[in-house]
Amino acid sequence: MSTALSYRRPAGRAGVPLLALGALVASTLAVAAPPAQAAEALLSQGKPATASSQEGGAYAASAAVDGNLTGTRWASQWSDPQWFQVDLGQRADLSRVVLTWEGAYGKSYQIQASDNGTDWRTLKTVTGGDGGTDEIAVSGAGRYVRMLGTERSGGYGYSLWEFQVYGSTDGTPPVGGGAVEVTGSQGDWRLTVGGQPYTVKGLTWGPAIADAPKYMPDVKSMGVNTIRTWGTDGGTKPLLDSAAAHGIRVVNGFWLQPGGGPGSGGCVNYVTDTTYKNNMLTEFAKWVEAYKSHPATLMWNVGNESVLGLQNCYSGTELEAQRNAYTGFVNDVAKKIHSIDPDHPVTSTDAWTGAWPYYKRNAPDLDLYSMNSYGDICGVQEDWEEGGYTKPYIITEGGPAGEWEVPDDANGIPDEPTDVQKAEGYSKAWDCVTGHRGVALGATLFHYGVEHDFGGVWFNLVPDGLKRLSYYAVKRAYTGSATGDNTPPVISNMTVSPASSAPAGGEFTVRADVRDPDGDPVKYKIFLSGNYANGDKRLVEAQWRSTGNGTFAVTAPEKLGVWKVYIQAEDGRGNAGIETKSVKVVAPPVTGTNVALNKPTTASSFQQSYGDCPCEPTKATDGRTDTRWASDWSDPQWLQVDLGAATALRKLQLVWDPAYAKSYEVQVSDNGSTWRTVHTTTAGNGDIDTIDVTATARHVRLHLTARGTGWGYSLHEFGIYS
């Protein structure tokens, strides 16, 4: 799987689904015990269990199916409604359910069963519960069994020592539930699994496959029935196994170059490169054969954003030829997959509805289309209708507005949406999907990821395992409610001062209003990211101190540029609010007069045509930090300023570009020929160097002897102060 593209979506349009959440079906209370079941057995012990909430880390859902009737328990948050469910691993005939309550019991609740973990049937309704042990006779069948608590006995939550489900199975392992099909007719399609309607309520999958058992129960608790991957190979089976164990299906992806662009795998010539195409066809066929019978497989997804991405490889008529050839190859893959596996649909993802005419023309064997779309997701329906397409679609990535589609802030970088706006973005996305009934068959929203970096904070629902407002927005979309959940702190009105002139190494002020909806105490962290300053996407905790009333004094980085500063507010219950603004770091002011400003400046060499060059030596003394001098990539080098007359020198300021000097000398001269050294260092680190000197001279030179990088030497400013 690759998520390299995840934070670089070009403006594309996305669409929307169709089928509503399955309604709970009430049943008549049985007066007599159900008919005897053959070989009744305890089916629930040790099976995957999930819940709507838990009171703390010691009261996980798994504690209520561990066989310990008095030592371990599940406990919910203190609100109604709540639910607890267990996945039996396969469909079973159910005979009774035994609930062993702790002191906090359910006064009113329902016992329900489901075949898919989404659509529930009520087997028994209980009112007037009095705690202790409830042994309930039921008649019905299902793979999933849950207790839906609607009224607590007191002010606490629901607390179960043990939840035991009894019944019988035929001893066969879990099955796939039958063929997956796109059924219906123009404008009235639906996805079915084993003949039953199936709306994709999904997330893209981010954690390592080895961590699937850790995170899959949480994914299931959100109402998710589908996850999407970008690649399928020999390492995929454990993920499929874990998904199947939790009643979750998988959109198995196959990666084709260029993906979202050359950075995602390079450029392929789809007109002439038959070797690449044959290799991919063979590779994909291998894994279709391997996983076609796996119960987790929902469909096959060939490629990701390549029709759009080809614009980074070609232009003009050649681009047009490549796009036609690529979509023709996708059709070849679809035909090959169908010949191996006629029981699962084939789709192909792009990030631009302008790709659909190519698929319409060249890929008739696709069963449905797929689209990645974020801020413009509600435009997908309009584009589909205007395009006259004859296939339904799913959204394979969606969520709040991305970096590529938001306006810039005052510092000239994309203005990241707030936590509240991101949550609203997910809700809007799902509304747009469900609004295109009979055409949009569901969505895998982006992204169940745990990375706590620049892109992770923008899109991940659980960065560093912390649940965001967006997490609960998706849960509400897929389950219909997040009532009773303990939710994250809400951050608003974040400001940075000074936002456009924070001195390097000095302090700037960050302020925000923070409110925790549940009244939990809040712990703060402040992070910095150099994504726009130096390309480092990590979030590094800043040096900071609280000055009270939601105000923080933060030490600015030594590197110039526009940085992102983040407030992270944690509630101690696994939730976090995260808000971010930009701050422009500038060179700290130096008292005195910069006598080098616009004076004649020469150098041993300079770059003439690399990157943003020409980078002449005069650009180091022009008073601007957005220009630079850059040398050749060798040692030694020198940069020299003629002040025009002997001048008393007091201080120097060297504003380095990332290509800095590790070792250098500051030298002065009266005649430009005979030099004396007034400062030496061998410990340069690329930060701004402010150097005290005491000298009188006309000429000042940097003698650069050891580079700190593989490039040359590069200075934004060489300030000399009298």
- At 262, is the pLDDT very low, low, confident or very high (cuts 50, 70, 90)? low
Mean local confidence (pLDDT), 40-51: 92
Report residue 370 CA to chain centroid gap. Answer: 19
CATH topology of domain 601-721: Jelly Rolls (2.60.120)
The DSSP element (H or E) to which 473 belongs, if any, is helix 469-479
Domain 41-168 and domain 601-721, same fold? Reply is yes
Judged against a pLDDT cut of 90, whether residue 16 lies above it is answered with: no
Query: How much is the pLDDT for 169?
Result: 77
The domain 41-168: what is its CATH number?
A: 2.60.120.260
Q: Is 177 helix (H, G, I), strand (E, B) or coil?
A: coil
- At 69, is the pLDDT very low, low, confident or very high (cuts 50, 70, 90)? confident
354-412: per-residue pLDDT in tens?
A: 999 999 999 999 999 999 999 999 999 999 999 999 999 999 999 999 999 999 999 99
d(CA 631, CA 635): 10
The domain 199-482: what is its CATH number?
A: 3.20.20.80
Judged against a pLDDT cut of 50, whether residue 29 lies above it is answered with: no
524-537: per-residue pLDDT in tens?
A: 999 999 999 999 99
Average pLDDT for the chain: 92
Query: How much is the pLDDT for 22?
Result: 27
Query: How much is the pLDDT for 263?
Result: 54
Query: How much is the pLDDT for 610?
Result: 85
d(CA 281, CA 304): 16
Judged against a pLDDT cut of 90, whether residue 168 lies above it is answered with: no
d(CA 277, CA 456): 33
Mean local confidence (pLDDT), 623-646: 97
Judged against a pLDDT cut of 80, whether residue 2 lies above it is answered with: no
Residue 278: burial class (beta carbons within 10 Å; 0-12, 13-18, 19+):
exposed
Per-domain boundaries in the chain: 41-168, 199-482, 491-586, 601-721
pTM attached to this predicted model: 0.75
556-585: per-residue pLDDT in tens?
A: 999 999 999 999 999 999 999 999 999 999
Judged against a pLDDT cut of 70, whether residue 632 lies above it is answered with: yes
Query: How much is the pLDDT for 174?
Result: 44
For residue 210, the one-letter residue type is A
Query: How much is the pLDDT for 58?
Result: 85
Q: Report CA Rg, the chain.
A: 31
138-156: per-residue pLDDT in tens?
A: 988 899 999 999 999 999 9
Which CATH number is correct for 491-586, 3.40.1440.10, 1.10.3720.10, 2.60.40.10, 3.40.109.10? 2.60.40.10
Mean local confidence (pLDDT), 345-358: 98
458-487: per-residue pLDDT in tens?
A: 999 999 999 999 999 999 999 988 788 999
Query: How much is the pLDDT for 8?
Result: 32
Q: Is 333 helix (H, G, I), strand (E, B) or coil?
A: helix
CA-to-CA separations, 435 to 200, 296, 418, 425, 431, in angstroms, rounded: 14, 27, 25, 15, 6
Query: How much is the pLDDT for 36?
Result: 36
Ramachandran angles phi, psi of 384, nearest 5°: -65, -45
Using DSSP bridges, classify how beta strands 226-228 and 369-372 pair: parallel, antiparallel or unpaired.
Answer: unpaired
d(CA 388, CA 391): 9
User: Across-strand partners of 368?
Assistant: none
Q: What is the largest CA-CA distance in the chain?
A: 111
**Is 275 or 39 the better-scoring residue by pLDDT?**
275
Q: What is the DSSP string of 489-554?
A: -EEEEEEEETSS-EETTSEEEEEEEEE-TT----EEEEEEEEHHHHSEEEEEEPPEEEEETTEEEE
Quote the percentage of the chain above a pLDDT of 70. 93
- Cα–Cα nearest to 113, from 82, 143, 155: 143
Query: How much is the pLDDT for 160?
Result: 97
Mean local confidence (pLDDT), 71-81: 94
Judged against a pLDDT cut of 50, whether residue 666 lies above it is answered with: yes
DSSP state of 432: H
- At 70, is the pLDDT very low, low, confident or very high (cuts 50, 70, 90)? confident
Judged against a pLDDT cut of 50, whether residue 606 lies above it is answered with: yes
Residue 146: burial class (beta carbons within 10 Å; 0-12, 13-18, 19+):
buried
- Cα–Cα nearest to 472, from 432, 503, 433, 517: 517
User: Across-strand partners of 184?
Assistant: 189
Judged against a pLDDT cut of 90, whether residue 20 lies above it is answered with: no
